[in-house]
Each structure stands twice: as structure tokens, then as C-alpha cells.
């Protein structure tokens, strides 16, 4: 997801009837239709005795009742629970999903694999594996929606407007899914697990479909390394308490179960994003501990309204394309170079996005420009 902002073409605003200052801002739908326990994938996960056992993965879908918009943004909400507990029916996840659906989104709450072994074997390797399993399952769920959209279009989502949110451990999954996106960034003690389990994409199902997404709602989460965040990364809106004793607000340690693992919380994420020119915002609950939005209805209202105001600007302005992104995967890489060379050789059809020089001719100069963009020159 490392997208160079300088390559973005003109942005298109959605129709006035959709982005009218009411939808995605006010809870304009009084009722929400919920479809529960849809099988979206599966994978092996160690049971309490450490023996790998197959786990089916399910999700719930929240839709605004009576809605007639054909292409709606999709937002995921992942539960917290320190990777050892939790459910897609956690009260905060249900409330967030319901309220976003009432504003016109399609919301989805997913179950992901837990790692109960962290309770008695808390170390950095197991903690990273716990997050990696969540990331793999999340990406499978995203692929499932894209598959459904292509084959059936049951839920009328816009696959160019997919966003990922999470609470606590769910926030950690969402943030790291966004910014841990290169093999070179994988921590050493996680390399073997990633290699044996489908790479960064994972193997939890629906292979062959795209898993990229376009923004993050981070509720008391953290990133493993702020250096994973680079210019052009997807927008993030964060909510966090300054006195969080579970997931640090800034630069600190997760000490749960005796872990003592270095992470970088919402304050560092926001400062890093802004320093790189990326879109980011942070609401700080001064003096609050973990998950302040669960402390009162008023705090939940603040959280929904703050994230809503950030997201409406993201949702209602979408990039039409990225010059040089010839396979439309949201990233400039060697695959785009191969396609460009094939266009020059006449193997593939002309693609306007390959004309980086703007001279209506695709040649070696465009290849050189694309290589420079990939290298960050």
C-alpha cells in the first residue's frame, strides 16, 4: 500500500445524492439489516493443547435497511481481547457496526483466530504470530467481499472504498495490516511463520482476489514499528487514552501477561503520518485508560463522531487511478514494469496509465520513470 501521492490522478467526488453532507455524517437510517455467521474462510489454529485444529471463520454484515445506493463503502470492525478472547458480537463492535450502517456504510464484524497460548507463553514471537493470524484472516475477509461482489453483488459494496477498523487487539491487526506490507519489514522471528502460512497475504481463503484497503480506524491500537509507515500510505484516524496501561498511547511496552513488547501507539502513528504528509488525525482522551469509548455513552458518541468526520472526507473523495499502476492493485511494483514492457512489445493493449511522460507514446522513457517512482526517486 505504499502509494506515491505524486502519482495520483485527479480525484472524483461522488454524486451529490450520496455525499450530500447527510449520508455518512448522520444516522439517517433507523433500521439495520444484519446477516449473521457467514462463512468467509478458515485455517488451522493450535487448540489449548497446542495441536493444530481447523477453525471455520465467520463474519456478520450490517446494512442500512431500505437503502437504494448501489455502491456503498465497506468498513470492518475487529474486536479486542488481547488476542486471547473476544468475539464479533462484542458490545462495542455491535454498536460501532450498527451506527456506521445507520450512516450508510456496509459494516462487517469478523471473527479471527485467537492465540490463547499467549497467556502462559507470552513472548514477542507468539505476540507477532497472534497479530499475523489476525491480519491473514482479515485479508481473507476482504477477499471474500471482493469475490462476492464479482460473482453475486449481494451487498452492493464499492470495492474502491474498503476500510478497516478495530478496537485494541483489533486495532493492532488493522494498523499492522496497513503498514506491515513489505517482506523486508517482517520481523526476523516472524519470517518463518509468514513463509509457511501464505506470506503477508496468508492462506485463510479466497485466494486470487485482492485484499488491499483504503483507510484505517484505529481505536487504541499500535504498530510494531513506526518505520513501516511511509509517504503515500493509507489514511488513519485514531482514538486513544493518554493513560492506557494495556496498549501505550505513545512509545512504550505492552506488558500484558508479562510480555514487555515494544510498540508505537496512536500518538506516534499520528505524528509519523503527518510528518510524511499522509492523512491522519487523533482524538486524545486525556487521563483515560484503555478503551475510553467503553467508559460511557458520551465517550462512545465522541468516538463515533470524530471518526465519522474524518472518514466522510476519505469516503467521498476517491482516487480515480495511479499513473503507472497497470494492474490496478494500488501499488507500483515490478509487475507494472512487466506490463509496461509488454505494452511496448505489443503483447498487451495500450493503457493510458502507462504514459507517464504524457507524450501519448509509451516507450523506454516511461519504463525509466516508472522504475524511478518505484525506487522513490
For 88-144, the pLDDT digits (tens) are 999 999 999 999 999 999 999 999 999 999 999 999 999 999 999 999 999 999 999
- pLDDT tens-place string over residues 150-161: 999 999 999 999
d(CA 52, CA 26): 45
List C-alpha distances in Å: 97 to 11, 22, 103, 105: 28, 18, 10, 9
State the greatest distance between any 2 C-alpha atoms of the chain, in Å, as a whole number. Answer: 64
Chain centroid offset of residue 278 CA: 15
**pLDDT, tens digit (0-9, with 9 covering 90-100), for 225-269:** 999 999 999 999 999 999 999 999 999 999 999 999 999 999 999
**Residues forming beta bridges with residue 75, ordered by sequence position:** 107, 163
pLDDT per position as a tens digit, 293-310: 999 999 999 999 999 999
pTM for the model stands at 0.83
Q: What band does 318 get if pLDDT is binned at 50, 70 and 90?
A: low
pLDDT at position 17: 60
Q: What is the mean pLDDT of residues 343-351?
A: 87
Per-residue pLDDT, 7: 33
What is the model's pLDDT at position 333?
A: 85
Interatomic CA distance for residues 164 and 178, integer angstroms:
9
Cell of 46: 493450535
Q: Which three cell numbers stand for residue 70?
A: 448501489
Between CA 310 and CA 280 the distance in angstroms is: 8
Residue 73, Cβ neighbours under 10 Å: how many?
29
Residues 6+ apart with CB under 8 A from 9: 319, 320, 321, 322, 323
Give the model's confidence band at 21: pLDDT under 50 very low, under 70 low, under 90 confident, else very high. confident
Which spans in the chain are helix H? 91-102, 124-151, 169-179, 191-196, 266-275, 297-315, 334-345, 364-375
The pLDDT confidence band at residue 176, using thresholds 50, 70 and 90, is: very high
Report whether 269 contacts 220 (CB < 8 A).
Answer: no
Give tens-digit pLDDT for 49-93: 889 999 999 999 999 999 999 999 999 999 999 999 999 999 999
H or E element: which one contains 205?
A: none
Residues 249 and 263 sit within 8 Å (Cβ to Cβ):
no
- Does the pLDDT at position 15 exceed 80? no
Q: What is the mean pLDDT of residues 342-358?
A: 85
Is the pLDDT confidence value at 34 over 80?
Answer: yes
Would you state the pLDDT for residue 331? 76
Counting residues of the chain whose pLDDT is more than 90, the rounded percentage is 80
pLDDT of res. 50:
84
Ordered structural domains, the chain, with CATH: 11-319 (3.40.50.1820), 334-375 (no CATH)
254: phi then psi, degrees, rounded to nearest 5: -85, 120
Q: Is the pLDDT of residue 10 over 50?
A: no
Helices (H) and strands (E) in the chain, counts: 8, 13
What pLDDT was estimated at residue 1? 41
| DSSP conformation letters of 255-275 | -GGG--EEEEEHHHHHHHHHH
Q: For residue 137, give the C-alpha cell.
A: 484472516
Q: What is the pLDDT of residue 335?
A: 85
Determine the pLDDT at residue 3: 38
Mean per-residue pLDDT over the chain, rounded:
92
Amino acid at each position: 500500500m505504499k502509494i506515491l501521492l505524486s502519482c495520483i490522478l485527479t480525484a472524483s467526488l461522488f454524486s451529490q445524492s450520496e455525499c450530500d453532507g447527510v449520508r455518512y455524517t448522520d444516522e439517517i437510517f433507523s433500521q439495520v439489516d444484519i446477516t449473521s455467521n457467514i462463512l468467509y474462510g478458515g485455517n488451522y489454529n493450535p487448540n489449548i493443547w497446542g495441536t493444530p485444529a481447523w477453525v471455520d471463520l465467520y463474519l456478520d454484515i450490517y446494512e442500512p435497511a431500505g437503502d437504494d445506493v448501489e455502491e456503498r463503502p465497506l468498513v470492518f470492525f475487529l474486536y479486542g481481547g488481547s488476542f486471547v478472547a473476544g468475539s464479533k458480537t462484542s458490545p462495542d463492535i455491535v454498536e460501532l457496526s450498527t451506527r456506521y450502517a445507520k450512516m450508510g456504510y456496509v459494516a462487517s464484524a469478523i471473527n479471527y483466530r485467537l492465540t490463547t497460548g499467549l497467556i502462559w507463553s507470552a513472548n514477542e514471537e507468539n505476540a507477532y504470530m497472534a497479530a499475523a493470524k489476525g491480519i491473514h484472516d482479515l485479508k481473507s475477509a476482504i477477499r471474500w467481499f471482493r469475490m462476492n461482489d464479482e460473482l453475486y453483488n449481494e451487498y452492493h459494496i464499492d470495492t474502491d472504498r474498503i476500510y478497516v477498523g478495530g478496537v485494541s487487539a483489533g486495532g493492532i491487526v488493522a494498523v499492522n495490516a496497513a503498514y506491515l506490507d513489505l517482506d523486508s519489514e517482517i520481523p526476523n522471528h516472524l519470517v518463518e511463520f509468514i513463509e509457511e502460512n501464505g506470506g503477508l497475504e496468508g492462506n485463510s481463503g479466497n485466494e486470487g482476489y485482492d485484499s488491499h484497503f483504503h483507510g484505517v480506524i484505529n481505536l487504541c491500537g499500535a504498530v510494531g514499528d513506526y518505520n513501516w509507515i511511509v509517504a503515500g500510505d493509507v489514511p488513519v484516524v485514531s482514538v486513544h487514552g493518554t493513560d492506557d496501561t494495556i496498549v501505550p498511547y505513545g512509545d512504550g511496552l505492552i506488558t500484558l501477561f508479562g510480555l514487555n513488547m515494544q510498540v508505537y501507539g496512536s500518538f506516534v502513528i499520528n505524528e509519523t503520518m503527518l510528518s510524511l504528509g499522509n492523512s491522519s488525525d487523533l482524538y486524545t482522551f486525556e487521563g483515560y485508560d484503555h478503551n475510553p469509548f467503553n467508559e460511557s455513552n458520551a465517550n462512545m458518541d465522541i468516538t463515533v463522531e470524530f471518526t465519522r468526520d474524518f472518514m466522510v472526507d476519505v469516503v467521498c473523495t476517491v482516487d480515480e487511478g495511479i499513473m503507472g499502476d497497470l494492474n490496478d492493485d494500488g501499488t507500483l511494483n515490478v509487475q507494472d514494469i512487466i506490463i509496461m514492457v509488454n505494452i511496448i512489445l505489443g503483447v498487451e493493449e495500450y493503457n493510458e496509465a502507462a504514459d507517464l511522460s504524457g507524450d501519448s507514446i509509451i516507450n523506454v522513457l516511461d519504463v525509466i520513470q516508472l522504475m524511478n517512482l518505484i525506487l522513490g526517486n
